Amino acid sequence: MQRIILHFDMDYFFAQIEERENPQFKGKPVVVCTSTPLSANPSEEITVVPEEDNNDAYKRSANPELVEGLGADPKGGKGRGVVSTSNYEARKYGIKSGMPISKAYQLCPDAIFLPVNIELYEKVSKQIMEIVKKYSPKYEIVSLDEAYLDLSNIFHDREIISIEKVWRAAEKIGEKLKREIFEKEKLTCTVGIGPNKVVAKLATESAKPNGLKVVRSEEVEKFLDPLDVDDLPGIGPKTAKKLRAIGVNKIFELKKLSKEKLKEMFGKIGEKIWERARGIDEEPVSPEEIIKSIGRQITFEKDTRDPELIFDAFEKLLKEVNKELVETHFSFKTITVICRYRGFETHTKSKTLEKPSSDLTTLKNEAKKLLLRFLIENKKLIRLIGIRISNLKNNL
């Protein structure tokens, strides 16, 4: 069945809110940084910073003096935080999400460094989602600044008889949504529209910032072909590296590989990659999945291998995760433990249970086993540990 999916994503979200609140920042590079020891955002994805980011500049600036007085260090975290996001002026200097604050400081010492004010961003996010929800009863909030809307009901509008008019109507909805968010919140976003979620999201990416892009069904191939393989959801840095090693850089090159070959190289996800490269994606817009995971992480004040310290901190994280689990009435199937070593090298280990569980003892036992494996397998100092449960199911 043909569908029309709209995806929207707020532009440089945290930093744009800061600009709105402080008009004097407009036109200057603005960097929003996390430096609180505990992640403020429960379902925050862990950013895996590639090894090459662990350069000499970073090692030097692990020296706390360099980052003191930035104003982005509310709890005296001594510059151990990372860049949450930055505005487009700061991006011109090469500043990126996930980068250590100290590195961002070296790239652009004159930037305005601000701490994350998550309460404010969550409030703004809620207000935006209230606007968005009105555009379709079928919506899926992906994160604080991003959602999908299924607009397929346009097909049932009697006045819209040609497919051309359907796409035009969807585009008008996108324009209206952008206008309404801007009028009410004074913030810009980018909208992507396509026949499915994957294409809609890539359309958004291609039109950033403050853009709107419609990719009609018949344009999908032309749109996808020239993109880099790692633009495709499901292709992370590791997969992209393997593909590049065999001379596959762009999606049109990826399409030359058979489904069997991709399965052989990447397992189950290989099949999805084969489909997505052709713009095939049946994934529904599903409101049930608003909460996809529950997670907590902690950055140690000092890199450590002290088991007592590590397990104590871990116990606290587990308690918090469990508390949220109980409050939200979810059960989980997958437990993931995240470990970031000195130098930002980040690894995850997961365990998927046979059946969903909401039992604290199971969570504790399995999670501790995973953590222990990290401690045994790698002798490096640990900078951060985290726990995430996913594959959630509502028990209500």
Beta strands 30-34 and 112-115, pairing class: parallel
Shortest approach of ligand DCP to residue 124 CB, angstroms? 11
- Which residue is nearest to Ca ion, using beta carbons? 146
Q: Which does 84 bind (CB under 5 to 8 A by kind): Ca ion, ligand DCP, none?
A: ligand DCP
Question: Do 5 and 197 contact (CB within 8 A), yes or no?
Answer: yes
**CA–centroid distance for 5 within its chain:** 20
Beta strands 146-150 and 346-357, pairing class: unpaired
Rounded Cα gap, residues 7 and 35, in angstroms: 31
Sign of CA dihedral 53, 108, 44, 298: positive
**CA–centroid distance for 211 within its chain:** 20
Residues that bind ligand DCP (CB under 6 A): 9-14, 47, 84-85, 97-98, 145, 208-209
For Ca ion, which is the closer residue by CB, 9 or 18? 9
The stretches of the chain forming alpha helices (DSSP H) are 13-21, 56-61, 88-91, 101-107, 118-133, 163-185, 197-207, 220-224, 237-245, 251-254, 259-266, 268-277, 307-328, 360-377
Q: Closest Cα to residue 48, out of 348, 293, 387?
A: 348
Q: Which does 47 bind (CB under 5 to 8 A by kind): Ca ion, ligand DCP, none?
A: ligand DCP
Report 13-32 residues binding Ca ion (CB under 5 A): 13
Beta strands 189-194 and 5-10, pairing class: antiparallel
For Ca ion, which is the closer residue by CB, 210 or 331? 210
Q: Which does 14 bind (CB under 5 to 8 A by kind): ligand DCP, Ca ion, none?
A: ligand DCP
Shortest approach of Ca ion to residue 187 CB, angstroms? 10
For ligand DCP, which is the closer residue by CB, 13 or 148? 13
**CA–centroid distance for 301 within its chain:** 25
Does position 9 interact with Ca ion (CB under 5 A)? The reply is: yes
Shortest approach of ligand DCP to residue 209 CB, angstroms? 5
For ligand DCP, which is the closer residue by CB, 14 or 148? 14
Among 19, 44, 140, 146, the one annotated catalytic: 146
For Ca ion, which is the closer residue by CB, 188 or 350? 188
Per the annotation, the verdict on 65 as an active-site residue is no
Shortest approach of ligand DCP to residue 278 CB, angstroms? 26
Report 132-191 residues binding Ca ion (CB under 5 A): 145-146
List residues with catalytic annotation.
Answer: 146
Residues at the site binding Ca ion, with contacts judged by CB under 5 A: 9-10, 13, 145-146
